[in-house]
Structure 1
Amino acid sequence: MGKPGIASMTYTFLLESVWHPPLAFAETAARTLPPEMELQALWFSGAFGRDFRTVGGQAVRLVQFGEWNRGPGPDFRQVAIELDGELKTGDLELDSSAADWEWHRHGSNESFRDVVLHVSFQPEARRTYVRTCEHRAVPQVIISSAQLADVLNRPQQEVAIARPGRCVAPLRHMPVGGIERLLWESSEHRAELKAARYLRVADVHGTDAALFQATAETLGYRGNSLAMRMLAQRVPLTALGADVNRTDAILFGAAGFLSPELHEKAPEDTREYLRDLWENWWRERASFEATAARAIPWRCGGQRPANHPHRRIGTLASLAKKWPTYRKLALARPFQPRPVMEFLDGLEHPFWSRRHTLTSTA
């Protein structure tokens, strides 16, 4: 079957051409792995699925993805897997490269004694053996570059090239109707990808967790979408209560934005709220605070005031406290956007309705 003509070109064909060189419109670019923390967030969301094969050929199914580790040791705790049908529980370690287990000396570290699965993204030329301090072999799963590319769904180049790309010439001669159809197909394709991703999270963590994580990521926009997603993963909706100050305190504390002296640096009329946050946070911090090495990577600079992560977390806290109503509207079938927008427009918070950051005057 030949290539489609210019007038009948589909978005699927154009996408395949861009993503899979050496077809017509490919732009070459070097591929680098995302930061390890982003890989961890993708893994925890179920983006790569839950069924795998180890390098030794064993079937692995993730029964329970566990929870983020906030301190030293393996990346995820209380994980449950089925290895060739046999249930095993313990920890999971995720590394960029299969050889990192040796480079990081996990094999001699007793904190990694209970690891039941090692996940990596770069195979080594030589066979890498993963063993605990007790010389127990740890099953290995390696995510291929093709799997990672499909999950990331990123353009070949993050920054637009400073010259017309190879797709410009054929698209220039497309009729208006063809371009409109192509744009419509592209929007449908993007919506389908987002829906599939949401359903994967729902399969792994449940509908409420999927909606909570998706909402948090949306609030983060591009600059803090990863950070907000990680916050929602580390502080699941089930960990938040109905108490206003407790919910705010847990989210801001787990995000790393609270400190004992914060209220002293803030304007006078904000100190009471900040003092309440800290008094609630110190009771909860042992369960939610992460070490510096596992701090969430926030971007606070270069943001419009309304998009500052402080304000976005405040919005997430407000939504968590009205979750039953928000959930009902967001998951209504058929979905109606207007009731959701009216609900969001009506959100009020005694502090965040009037402030952009924890220490700002407005």
Structure 2
Amino acid sequence: MLFTEDFLYHVWKFRLYDRDQLRTTTGETIEVINPGTRNTNAGADFQQARIKIGDTLWAGNVEIHVAASDWQKHNHQQDRAYDNVILHVVYRNDLPVETTEGNLLPTLELEHRIPAELYGRYHSLVYGEQKVIPCESAIHTIDDLTMRTWLTRVLVERLEKKSAFVIQTLNQNRGDWEETFYQHLASSFGFKINSLPFEMLAKSLPQIILSKHKNSMLQIEALIFGQAGFLEDELRDDYPNLLKKEYQFLRKKYGFEPLDKYLWKFLRLRPLNFPTIRLAQFAALISKSNHLFSKVLEISDVKLLRELFTDIPVNAYWETHYRFDVESNPSSKEMGLASIDSLLLNTLALFLFSYGRQRQQEQYVDRSLALLEQLPAEQNSIISNFDDLGVKTKTAFESQALLELKNNYCNYKKCLQCSVGNKILKLV
């Protein structure tokens, strides 16, 4: 058989072996009262197990190996930390093993006790030639409760990992949530392609500086486009030259150094996603909203959260331009619903979760999850593949969880750590 110790851990934990007339390799009867708790740190594989061997009830640890001889390969016979092992569970007993004191260790051999169907399912999951995910032929059979419970856990794992970066930035900003939110919101305005230069822009242009000029839309635009590096060239149109004049004054006042314009990407982007348009939208938002994160904390309705980003008209110049000095057909440049929902998903929901966990106020964590429930699912190839497999996705709650499931479980075939995989393996 082809498997790792993880498979035996799974078999032992869920008692998926033939339990009829269990005996040690020396013939003593075995009754597994409690298999113990899986230990992922140093030491025996399962702790606090309760096993009756013969007439004696033992409490202690259980060590698991594919072959009994692995005990010696791992030098457990020289490690006193393994002297409290009460049972050695192996697939094949190829060698009697002893503790450091020379005592023979009771051993349970599972070679002929693992159902062939269970192994077949495991082998198909972990070693099969699937196109999308390991359980693609069976995931549609999983009941809604199991799927929902697991996706909730996986989604929280995703938010916890992302939250760690938020808290790291918060610490760099000395606990200033407004500044941290401003920086992450700016990064989200880059929509992946220009995320990094947007983040660099926000860090080079503190929100407190912008708040000093909140009554002058022109100065806010000048600061944002100037710091982004778009006002360094010779310009023809009146509007960018007016911005340039304002920025030259403000640059000297604050001692700013602009970013290099080459950092911004235009290639293969739809014109509405050009960084110049996103910068214009960002400037309009900053001009309209002060202490935006405080407002987010106060609002629970998704419609009202969307309104924070709607009716934010950019400068009229952009109605006929996508770049400076390059005229185009007239079109609206206000943010669309899809872009707004992306900000709500990637920034607002994340910050509600991070704030709730950091402040130990679970109501904000709950609001974060509720917000994701109210947002539509993202549309991408991963979600489409799950849809084809019978896993229908309607909300961002579900799509975010499925992205985490695919990227951090399915791609690495962690089926034994996945509730879906466990459910499939139990159906024997």
TM-score category of the 2 structures, normalised to the smaller one: 0.3 to 0.5
**Larger fraction in helix:** 2
* Higher Cα radius of gyration: 2
TM-score, normalised to structure 2, is: 0.41
